[in-house]
Amino acid sequence: MAAFRAAVLVLLGLRLGCAAAAVPLVIWHGMGDSCCNPRSIGYIKKIVENKIPGIYVLSLKIGNNLIEDMENSFFMNANDQVRDVCGQLANDPHLKGGYNAMGFSQGGQFLRAVAQRCPSPPMFNLISIGGQHQGSVYGFPRCPGESSHICDWIRKMLDLGAYTQAVQEHLVQAEYWHDPLKEEDYRKNSIFLADINQERGINETYKKNLMALKKFVMVKFLNDTMVDPPISEWFGFYKSGQATETIPLRETSLYKEDRLGLQEMDKAGKLVFLGVKGDHLQFSEEWFDTTVLPFLQ
């Protein structure tokens, strides 16, 4: 009888432990930010930890310190950043059973690249908050950063030629620069976005890995003045050959040809489109608590 009671208690303990265990969360910050800024990503990390007791949150740092992390968001090849992160995730014992991912601005599309290229450990839900999944073009209206000279230099480089090899390899923002008036240049010379969006052919592994997500949540800022066009945050873009009229994801060739599996994911209820009033990355804690946190629990 004592042995039976002990076995029951062990089973109950295992079940309770499994029920209480929160799915780990990986966060990737946006351009000009860092992993642990107390006014941005550090604040988000604390909110999640306070609302979901016991959760393990990894806020990604690219580089050896916060300054390098910020600088790398401008100047480290996006493919190298994704490779670095894939290594971090694979070597983190807290993530071996899988994790949810939440990316802010360019961090959203970079985490999508992680989902497509690095399926182990598995990503369950991907939450993209203001991520430019079809890219962004035209100007740099609100470039963040500690000093304006960095932003001025970036503008000059983009003006000189976003699709030149030198600029592509050394300027992150050029790597997701998508000019609807230069579609052929974009497809041929974009070293990051054109690849993860299957613009030069179909990588079936990318497609399979992305379709393994349980949910792909895309948040669009309804008054965004930084991402051009804002509908890129919902995977829409300009009609090809002009820069006035935009089309939603379901009218794009990417969706119709199902190059990434988004059509199939949509039909399966895996795509979630959320809108929030405000400019780029401007949202309230209340909105975050009620709208985003449920996808992490």
Known catalytic residues?
Answer: 105, 224, 280
Q: Which amino acid is at 141?
A: P
ω into residue 93 within 30 of 0, thus cis? no
Alpha helices in the chain (DSSP H): 2-20, 41-51, 66-75, 78-90, 106-117, 148-161, 165-170, 183-189, 193-196, 204-211, 253-256, 262-267, 285-287
CB 207 within 8 A of CB 262: no
Chain Cα centroid distance, residue 280: 14
Tokens at 124, concatenated: 């369950």
Other CB atoms within a 10 A radius of the CB of residue 116 amount to: 26
Tell me how far apart the alpha carbons of residues 212 and 261 are, in angstroms, rounded to a whole number.
10
Tell me how far apart the alpha carbons of residues 62 and 113 are, in angstroms, rounded to a whole number.
16
Tell me how far apart the alpha carbons of residues 101 and 210 are, in angstroms, rounded to a whole number.
13
CB 56 within 8 A of CB 94: yes
